[in-house]
Amino acid sequence: MSNNLISETSPYLLQHANNPINWFAWNTKTLSKAKKENKLLLISIGYSSCHWCHVMEKESFENEEVAEIMNHHYINVKVDREERPDIDQIYMNAVQLMTGAGGWPLNCIALPDGRPVWGGTYFKKEEWSSTLHQIGDLYRKNPEKVIEYAEKLTEGIQQTGLISLNKEKALFTKEYVKEAVKKWSIYFDEDLGGFNKAPKFPMPNNYHFLLRHAYQNKSKSLQKYVNTTLTKIALGGIFDQIGGGFSRYAVDTKWHIPHFEKMLYDNGQLVSLYADAFLITKNELYKETVYETLKFIEREMLDHSGGFYSAIDADSLNEKNELEEGAYYVWTKKELQEILKNDFELFSDYYNVNSYGFWEHNNYHLIKNSSDEEFSKKYNLSITEFKSKVFNWKSILLKERSSREYPRLDDKILTSWNGIMLKGYIDASRVFNDDHFLEIALKNAHFLELQMIKEDGTLFRNYKNGKATINGYLEDYASLIDAYMALYEITLDEKWLTLSKNLTDTCFDYFFDINTSMFYFTSNKDEKLIAKKIETEDNVMPSSNSMMAKNLFKLSNYYDNEYYLKTSKQMLNNMIDTIQNFGSAYSNWLDLYSNFSEDYFEIAISGTKAKEKLQEINKEYIPNKLICGNTTKSDLPLLKNRNVNDKTLIYVCVNKTCNLPTENSEEAIHQIKNLQP
CA distances from 77 to 1, 3, 46, 136, 298 (A): 18, 11, 11, 16, 34
The continuous run of DSSP H or E covering 40 comes out as strand 40-46
Residue 164 lies in a domain: no
Residue 321 lies in a domain: no
Q: Given the DSSP bridges, would you call strands 601-606 and 625-630 parallel, antiparallel or unpaired? A: parallel
Q: Where are the alpha helices (DSSP H) in 16-110?
A: 28-37, 51-56, 64-73, 85-99
pLDDT of residue 33: 95
Q: Are residues 388 and 481 in the same domain?
A: no
**Region of 223 on the Ramachandran plot (φ > 0 left; ψ -120 to 50 alpha; else beta):** alpha
pLDDT of residue 30: 94
Q: Find the radius of gyration of the CA atoms of the chain.
A: 26
Tell me if the bond preceding 623 is cis, omega within 30° of 0.
no
The continuous run of DSSP H or E covering 268 comes out as helix 264-281
550, amino acid identity: K
Q: How many domains would you assign to the chain?
A: 4
Q: Quick one: angle between helices 415-432 and 435-452, nearest 10?
A: 160
pLDDT of residue 1: 63
Chain centre to alpha carbon of residue 252: 21
- What is the domain extent for residue 373? 329-403
Tell me if the bond preceding 204 is cis, omega within 30° of 0.
no
Using an 8 Å Cβ cutoff, are 412 and 12 in contact?
A: no
C-alpha angle 569-575-576 in degrees, rounded to nearest 5? 85
Q: Which of 112, 97, 94, 91 is nearest to 41 (CA)?
A: 112
Would you give the DSSP letter of residue 467? B
Chain centre to alpha carbon of residue 390: 30
Q: Are residues 420 and 523 in the same domain?
A: yes
Residue 173 lies in a domain: no
User: What CATH number does the domain containing 19 carry?
Assistant: 3.40.30.10
Q: Are residues 582 and 608 in the same domain?
A: no
pLDDT of residue 677: 60
pLDDT of residue 633: 83
User: What CATH number does the domain containing 627 carry?
Assistant: 3.40.30
Task: Write down which residue in 403, 433, 450 finishes a domain.
Answer: 403
Q: Are residues 610 and 531 in the same domain?
A: no
Q: Is the torsion defined by CA of 373, 378, 384, 389 positive or negative? A: negative
From CA 43, how far away is CA 416, in angstroms rounded? Answer: 24
Using an 8 Å Cβ cutoff, are 624 and 599 in contact?
A: yes
Q: Are residues 531 and 436 in the same domain?
A: yes
Task: Write down which residue in 403, 420, 435 finishes a domain.
Answer: 403
* Residue 102 CB-half CA count within 13 A: 15
Would you give the DSSP letter of residue 650? E
154, amino acid identity: T
From CA 360, how far away is CA 365, in angstroms rounded? Answer: 9
Using an 8 Å Cβ cutoff, are 52 and 106 in contact?
A: no
Torsion of Cα atoms, 511 then 512 then 513 then 517, to 10°: 140
CA distances from 482 to 437, 497, 540, 548 (A): 17, 10, 17, 8
Instruction: Work out the widest C-alpha separation in the chain, in whole angstroms.
Output: 86
Low-confidence ranges of the chain (pLDDT < 70): 1, 675-677
Would you give the DSSP letter of residue 327? T
If one counts every other C-beta atom within 10 angstroms of the C-beta of residue 148, the result is 11
From CA 273, how far away is CA 267, in angstroms rounded? Answer: 10
Q: Are residues 429 and 577 in the same domain?
A: yes
From CA 330, how far away is CA 314, in angstroms rounded? Answer: 12
pLDDT of residue 676: 65
Residues with Cβ within 8 Å of 403's Cβ and at least 6 positions away in sequence, in order, are none
* Residue 83 CB-half CA count within 13 A: 26
Q: Are residues 25 and 43 in the same domain?
A: yes
Residue 172 lies in a domain: no
From CA 196, how far away is CA 581, in angstroms rounded? Answer: 18
pLDDT of residue 375: 92
Task: Write down which residue in 403, 425, 452 finishes a domain.
Answer: 403
Q: Which of 234, 226, 227 is nearest to 181 (CA)?
A: 226
pLDDT of residue 99: 86
From CA 215, how far away is CA 441, in angstroms rounded? Answer: 28
Q: Where are the alpha helices (DSSP H) in 301-382?
A: 333-340, 344-350, 372-378
Beta-bridge mates of residue 76: 23, 42
Q: Are residues 245 and 305 in the same domain?
A: yes
C-alpha angle 129-131-132 in degrees, rounded to nearest 5? 65
pLDDT of residue 445: 98
Residue 175 lies in a domain: no
Q: Are residues 283 and 333 in the same domain?
A: no
Using an 8 Å Cβ cutoff, are 202 and 266 in contact?
A: yes
Q: Are residues 497 and 447 in the same domain?
A: yes
From CA 196, how far away is CA 135, in angstroms rounded? Answer: 41
CA distances from 522 to 250, 353, 527 (A): 32, 49, 9
Q: Given the DSSP bridges, would you call strands 409-410 and 413-414 parallel, antiparallel or unpaired? A: unpaired
Residue 170 lies in a domain: no
Look at the pTM and tell me if it is higher than 0.85: yes
From CA 369, how far away is CA 372, in angstroms rounded? Answer: 10
Burial of residue 317 (number of CB atoms within 10 Å: 0-12, 13-18, 19+): middle
Residue 174 lies in a domain: no
Q: Are residues 190 and 306 in the same domain?
A: yes
Q: Given the DSSP bridges, would you call strands 106-110 and 74-80 parallel, antiparallel or unpaired? A: unpaired
From CA 496, how far away is CA 483, in angstroms rounded? Answer: 9
pLDDT of residue 656: 81
* Residue 594 CB-half CA count within 13 A: 25
Using an 8 Å Cβ cutoff, are 256 and 267 in contact?
A: no
**Region of 579 on the Ramachandran plot (φ > 0 left; ψ -120 to 50 alpha; else beta):** alpha
Residue 169 lies in a domain: no
Q: Are residues 591 and 626 in the same domain?
A: no
pLDDT of residue 100: 87
